[in-house]
């Protein structure tokens, strides 16, 4: 049976709608009060696993799921060994550097050397500042990263921005965009290559459903 890893959170509704286009219905995951972490499609042809977005590529890489949907930001941060089949276009956001609106900085290059930058995207943030040849101390935070500059623990943050509302409400402004992110369809490389569980029958339909 085909197994698909779906991300909890902002991408879930669009991910379910995407698979509905090829006849795989996992709407049970959207029902109020649902506590199931795995459901069968209505026709019984496939199974969906509901996992944290950061864990989607892990399930796919290790073969517990043959397909998955995950943001490009997660792929950049984790660099998993998966096949990237298609950019799905939804879930658009951006990874940006932000600081307090009252700060004197107007670009990432203005930040002082060896300052602290809070982020859950440690690898991406480190690579960005290395590219600028600006040494900084990356502080890993996995909750409300915006509190870093507010409390004075960090001069800046590197975080995902969608509308910018959260930054504005917390007195922060974007300095620079590192990259944009959208949802990607990924596959387990060996399953894709060998057409395990009929994966090869679904991929042309799924990539054709993007438009």
Checking if the pLDDT of 211 tops 80, the result is no
**Which CATH class, in words, describes the domain spanning 93-180?**
alpha beta
Mean pLDDT score, 20-26: 93
When pLDDT is cut at 50, 70 and 90, the band that residue 205 belongs to is confident
CATH 3.40.190.10 boundaries in the chain:
2-91+182-208, 93-180
Alpha-carbon distance 125 to 119, whole Å? 7
Asked whether the predicted pLDDT for residue 119 surpasses 70, the reply is: yes
Q: What is the pLDDT of residues 54-66, one digit of tens each?
A: 999 999 999 999 9
- Give residue-wise pLDDT tens across range 123-163: 999 999 999 999 999 999 998 999 999 999 999 999 999 99
User: Residues for the chain: how many in total?
Assistant: 211
Both tokens assigned to 137: 């101390």
> 3-class DSSP state for residue 124?
helix
- pLDDT at residue 55, as a whole number: 97
pLDDT tens digit string along 87-114?
999 999 999 999 999 999 999 999 999 9
pLDDT at 131: 97
DSSP for 159-204 reads: EEESSSHHHHHTTEEEEEEEEEE-EEEEE-HHHHHHTGGGHHHHHH
Nearest to 14 by CA among 93, 95, 94, 89: 89
pTM for the full model? 0.91
Predicted local confidence at residue 206, as pLDDT: 86
Span 68-74, average pLDDT: 97
Which residues, 6 or more positions from 185, have their beta carbon under 8 angstroms from its beta carbon? 67, 68, 69, 84, 85, 86, 88, 206, 207
> According to CATH, what is the number of the domain 2-91+182-208?
3.40.190.10
């Amino acid at each position: 049976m085909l197994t698909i890893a779906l991300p909890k959170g902002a991408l879930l509704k669009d991910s379910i709608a995407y698979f509905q286009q090829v006849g795989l219905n996992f709407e049970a995951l959207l029902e109020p009060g649902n506590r199931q972490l795995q459901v069968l499609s209505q026709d019984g042809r496939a199974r969906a696993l509901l996992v944290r977005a950061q864990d989607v590529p892990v399930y796919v890489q290790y073969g517990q799921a043959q397909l998955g949907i995950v943001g490009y930001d997660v792929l950049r941060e984790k660099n998993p060994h998966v096949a990237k089949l298609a950019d799905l276009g939804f879930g658009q956001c951006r990874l940006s550097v932000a600081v307090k609106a009252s700060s004197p900085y107007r670009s990432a290059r203005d930040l002082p050397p060896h300052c602290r930058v809070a982020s859950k995207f440690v690898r991406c943030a480190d690579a960005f500042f290395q590219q600028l040849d600006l040494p900084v101390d990356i502080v890993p935070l996995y909750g409300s990263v915006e509190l870093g500059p507010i409390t004075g623990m960090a001069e800046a943050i590197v975080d995902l921005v969608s509308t910018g509302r959260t930054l504005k409400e917390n007195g922060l402004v974007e300095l620079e965009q590192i990259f944009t992110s959208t949802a990607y369809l990924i596959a387990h490389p060996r399953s894709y290559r060998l057409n395990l569980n009929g994966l090869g029958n679904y991929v042309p339909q799924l990539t054709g459903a993007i438009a």
